[in-house]
Each structure stands twice: as C-alpha cells, then as structure tokens.
C-alpha cells in the first residue's frame, strides 16, 4: 500500500477526469474568492470615512448593462460546469461493451469477488491494467459500498438489487478498497486490496488460481437442481418461455410494454416473476425470493446469459 500522502494520485482513467474537475472547481472558487476579497478591501479603503471618493448614483444605463452582463456571465459559466461535471459522471455508468466482468458479493463484513473463469477472492481483487473492468455487485444482507479512493470510484451495493460500475486502471500497484457505508460492528474493518497488474502478470496469476467452474457452468447445475429446467426446457409440457437467445432481446410484456432482457430483468423475473410477465404466457412461475442466495442468482443469470446465441447478442458499440 502507498504511504499516507497529502494527495493520493489517481490510478484510473475516471480518476484523472474527476481530479481535473476538482482542480478546475477549486481554481474557479479560488478566483471568485480572490475577486470578492480584493473588491472588499479596495472599496473599504476607497470609501472609508472622510475620503474624497465620488459617492453618487451610477448612470442608469451602465448600471443595467453591468447587471445583465455579470448575471449572464456567471449563468453560462455555471451551466458549463454543470455540463462538464454531468458528462464526466455519466460516463461512469456506461461500461464499454468489451469490459471484463467481475462479480462482487458483499456481506457483513467482507467483499467476495469472482473472475470470469470462476476464480474467487475474498477482500481482494486482482485485475489487469489498462483494461475496462465491469463490476456486477449485490449484497447478501445490508447496504455496503465499494470504494476505491485511488480510482475515485464509490458505488453502493444494495441487497436484492444488481448495482453496476466500471473502471479502467491506468497504472499498476496495490490500492485500498474500503466499505463506505456504515454496515454494522465491523464496518471499519471491511475492506481489502485492489491489485492492478500488468496484463501478462495477471494472466499468469489467474492461471495459478484454483479455477472452479465458471459462473455459467455453476448456473447450469443450479438450473437443473432448482427445477427450472422442468418448465423452461424446449419439450416441457408446461408453457414457459424458452430461455435460449433471451438475453439482450426486447421482450414484449403482457401489459403491452416492452422490456430489455438484461441482467436486471432476469434477476427480477426469478425473484418477482409476476411483475413483468412475457406476453402470451400465464403467470404461473413461483418466486424464488428467499430460496436462492445472491451468489446463486448471479450464477443463474450467468447461465441464462450464456444461452444467448451470438447473433442475438446486444449490439456492440464500435468505440470502446
């Protein structure tokens, strides 16, 4: 870990953007403060009691133009700041389509992470540098928050909901991971290390990990074990939607609306099957809320995703 220093250098592309914004706002606020102070002192001296300075009303025209001028200038300046901060923050919510996916499950009081090939870690995340990493996060109990100060990245993790976030580390090293939401007795101890490695070093590290089945494989086993296959298989007597090629498609619902079959939709369909019913089907599926844990849900979703045929996969954007 880095020694305590006055300014923690940014270690992600988003961190650089955040820092630039921070310093610009600091400079802007400093300039405004300086202007006000200078005017304050100047006027205090110039119009002090007994000075010979001119004291009378300003000419009417100059007063109005001056008023309009400074109001418009500050308005546009702050509109610009709003646009800048807004666009910088919104990009944090749109992971590149080629991002590597890491599953994060938070619980009192640890972060469990899982790599695409099934390798797991606790309170640690090894990752390659210069690679977009997408986090798919859920909590098994209360609200936690995934905070990596060096990445300027902080995102709450909520029970019963999938939270996403992404970052791209721009230098190697070991960085602090903290939980940033008070979550009980050992909240202050909940955290770990983010280890950013060169790409080949990461590949070597990953190869050394006990692999375990990848999420999709584990999900497939669960799918059979929980009886999902009984209804959702092609030849089943029960009329249930076929899940092959489902992921990434627009699904017409029985209420006439459409919904994108993304991770959120699949999760909710498992937990609250009666909320968004696919058009043409009876609401007969039982809820699995309380039956499947958060980590099992992630596996099921991964399995259903893996059933999407390539031609139906979501459109990839050209730019990373």
Min dist. Cβ of residue 158 to ligand CUA (A): 12
The answer to whether the beta carbons of residues 133 and 177 sit under 8 Å apart is: no
Query: Smaller CB distance to ligand CUA: residue 82 or 182?
Result: 182
- Interface segment toward ligand CUA; rule CB under 6 A; list 24-32, 89-97, 182-190, 232-240: 182-190
Binding to ligand CUA (CB under 6 A): which residues in 238-267? none
Provide CB contacts within 8 A for 199, sequence distance 6+: 128, 129, 130, 131
Min dist. Cβ of residue 295 to ligand CUA (A): 16
Min dist. Cβ of residue 194 to ligand CUA (A): 16
How many residues sit in the footprint of ligand CUA (CB under 6 A)? 8
Query: Smaller CB distance to ligand CUA: residue 14 or 139?
Result: 139
Min dist. Cβ of residue 190 to ligand CUA (A): 4
Binding to ligand CUA (CB under 6 A): which residues in 81-120? 109
Among 155, 187, 299, 305, interactor with ligand CUA by CB under 6 A? 187
With 0-12 / 13-18 / 19 or more C-beta atoms within 10 angstroms meaning exposed / middle / buried, residue 15 is buried
Helices 294-306 & 215-225, crossing angle to 10 degrees? 100
Query: Smaller CB distance to ligand CUA: residue 192 or 219?
Result: 192
Query: Smaller CB distance to ligand CUA: residue 148 or 270?
Result: 148
Min dist. Cβ of residue 104 to ligand CUA (A): 12
Among 162, 179, 302, 308, interactor with ligand CUA by CB under 6 A? 179
Phi, psi of 71 (to 5 degrees): -65, -45
Cis ω on the peptide bond leading into residue 109 (within 30° of 0)? yes
The answer to whether the beta carbons of residues 260 and 106 sit under 8 Å apart is: no
Quote the strand ranges of the chain, DSSP E.
Answer: 100-107, 110-114, 120-122, 124-128, 132-139, 144-148, 153-157, 163-168, 173-179, 191-197, 250-252, 258-260
Min dist. Cβ of residue 157 to ligand CUA (A): 8
Residue 148 lies near ligand CUA (rule: CB under 6 A): no
Cβ neighbours around 223 below 10 Å, total: 19
Question: Which residues of this chain interact with ligand CUA, rule CB under 6 A?
Answer: 109, 144, 179, 181-183, 187, 190
């Amino acid at each position: 870990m880095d020694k305590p220093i006055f300014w923690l250098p940014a270690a992600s592309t988003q961190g650089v953007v955040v820092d630039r914004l921070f310093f610009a706002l600091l400079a802007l606020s400093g300039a405004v403060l300086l202007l006000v102070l200078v005017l304050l002192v100047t006027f205090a001296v110039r119009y002090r009691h007994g000075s010979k300075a001119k004291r009378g009303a300003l000419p009417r025209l100059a007063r109005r133009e001056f008023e309009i001028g400074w109001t418009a200038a500050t308005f546009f300046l702050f509109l610009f700041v709003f646009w800048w901060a807004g666009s910088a923050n919104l990009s944090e919510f749109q992971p590149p389509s080629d991002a590597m996916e890491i599953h994060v499950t938070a619980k009192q009081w640890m972060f469990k992470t899982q790599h695409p090939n099934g390798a797991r870690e606790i309170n640690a995340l090894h990752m390659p540098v210069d690679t977009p990493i997408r986090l798919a996060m859920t909590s098994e109990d209360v609200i936690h928050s995934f905070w990596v100060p060096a990445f300027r990245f902080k995102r709450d993790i909520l029970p019963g909901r999938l939270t996403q976030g992404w970052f791209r580390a721009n230098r190697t090293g070991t960085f602090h991971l903290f939980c940033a939401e008070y979550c009980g007795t050992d909240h202050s101890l909940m955290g770990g290390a983010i280890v950013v490695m060169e790409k080949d070093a990461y590949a070597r590290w990953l190869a050394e990990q006990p692999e375990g089945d990848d999420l999709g494989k584990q999900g497939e086993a669960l799918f059979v074990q929980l009886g999902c296959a009984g209804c959702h298989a092609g030849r089943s007597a029960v009329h249930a939607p076929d899940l092959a090629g489902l992921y990434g498609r627009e699904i017409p619902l029985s209420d006439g609306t459409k919904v994108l079959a993304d991770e959120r939709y699949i999760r909710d369909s498992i937990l609250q099957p009666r909320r968004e019913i696919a058009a043409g089907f009876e609401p007969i599926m039982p809820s699995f809320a309380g039956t499947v844990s958060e980590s099992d849900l992630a596996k099921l979703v991964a399995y259903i995703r893996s059933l999407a045929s390539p031609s139906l996969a979501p459109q990839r954007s050209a730019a990373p």
